[in-house]
Amino acid sequence: MTLSPTQPIRVMLVDDHAMVRRGLATILKVFDNILLVGEAENGETAIKLCSEILPDVILMDLMMPDMDGATATHIICQKHPQVKVIVLTSFKEGDLVKNALEAGAIGYLLKDVSAEDLARAIRAAYAGRATLSPEAAQSLVETTNQPPVPGLDLTERERDVLALMVEGLNNTQIAGRLTVSPSTVKSHVSNILAKLMVTSRTEAVTLALRNHIVS
């Protein structure tokens, strides 16, 4: 997308701290082809203001009262897919990066970013190109490479059975406690062992206790 002096990139700021918005506004004024067109102090206000002014790029904080930045990003990207959102935050945890990108953000930067890098990211977003800070990219890689937490795919009934297994009950006792047949319990136990990728009840109980799968 070609930029010209008569077509600046229209930017909106979203941050619950007025001093942060003031500092960002001062930075953006340095660049001729970037124009600040609006400010919001939380996610709800950002959604309303975005619909009114339709900026090209939004700089979005994550941690805000009333509505967080990831939720606001998701709603804005659903309503106005042409608007590009760059998350600008102090947090670099992988889960936050992943959630922001899944919400539709095209960029993820930390607030200590230089003015030049911020302007470069704004121009990239306007052109449809993603930008991740090195720290955010590293955290995302580390989060992606972590093994899945065991037990997330257990059904509620399987969790009930596993909890009783932890108590030391056998299939017949579990059947009596849950008012189901022993064959039903046996089926649940088989599913539990398969999902936890273990071969015995003892291993399942050990894994459940170690990972706090059941209370």
Q: Which helix (H) or strand (E) holds 157?
A: helix 156-166
Q: Are residues 83 and 122 in the same domain?
A: yes
The owner of tokens 């600008």 is: 88
Give CA–CA dist 40/27, Å, rounded: 17
Classify residue 53: in a domain, yes or no: yes
Residue 5 has pLDDT above 70, yes or no: no
Here the tokens at position 17 are 């701290």
Q: What percent of the chain has pLDDT over 90?
A: 82
pLDDT score recorded for residue 3: 46
The rounded Cα 214 to chain-centroid distance in angstroms is: 25
Interval 63-73: pLDDT, tens: 998 899 999 99
Classify residue 122: in a domain, yes or no: yes
SS3 content of the chain, % helix, strand, coil (to 5): 50, 15, 35
Interval 70-115: pLDDT, tens: 999 999 999 999 999 999 999 999 889 999 999 999 999 999 999 9
Q: Are residues 141 and 52 in the same domain?
A: yes
CB 188 within 8 A of CB 157: yes
Classify residue 150: in a domain, yes or no: no
Classify residue 2: in a domain, yes or no: no
Q: Are residues 179 and 135 in the same domain?
A: no
Residue 195 has pLDDT above 50, yes or no: yes
The structural domain count of the chain equals 2
- Residue-range definition of the domain harbouring residue 44: 9-145
Q: Are residues 108 and 20 in the same domain?
A: yes
pLDDT score recorded for residue 6: 62
Q: Are residues 15 and 57 in the same domain?
A: yes
Q: Where are the beta strands (DSSP E) in 70-187?
A: 84-89, 107-110, 131-132
Classify residue 177: in a domain, yes or no: yes
For 44-104, the DSSP string reads HHHHHHHHHH--SEEEE-SS-SSS-HHHHHHHHHHH-TTSEEEEEES---HHHHHHHHHHT
- 143-167 mean pLDDT: 86
Q: Are residues 137 and 175 in the same domain?
A: no
Least confident of 2-6, 136-140, 161-165, 170-174: 2-6
Mean pLDDT over the full length of the chain: 92
Please report which confidence band the pLDDT of residue 141 belongs to, taking 50, 70 and 90 as the band edges: confident
Q: Are residues 66 and 131 in the same domain?
A: yes
Q: Are residues 136 and 176 in the same domain?
A: no
Q: Are residues 168 and 139 in the same domain?
A: no
Q: Are residues 94 and 18 in the same domain?
A: yes
pLDDT score recorded for residue 42: 95
pLDDT score recorded for residue 143: 79
Q: Are residues 43 and 24 in the same domain?
A: yes
Q: Are residues 81 and 118 in the same domain?
A: yes
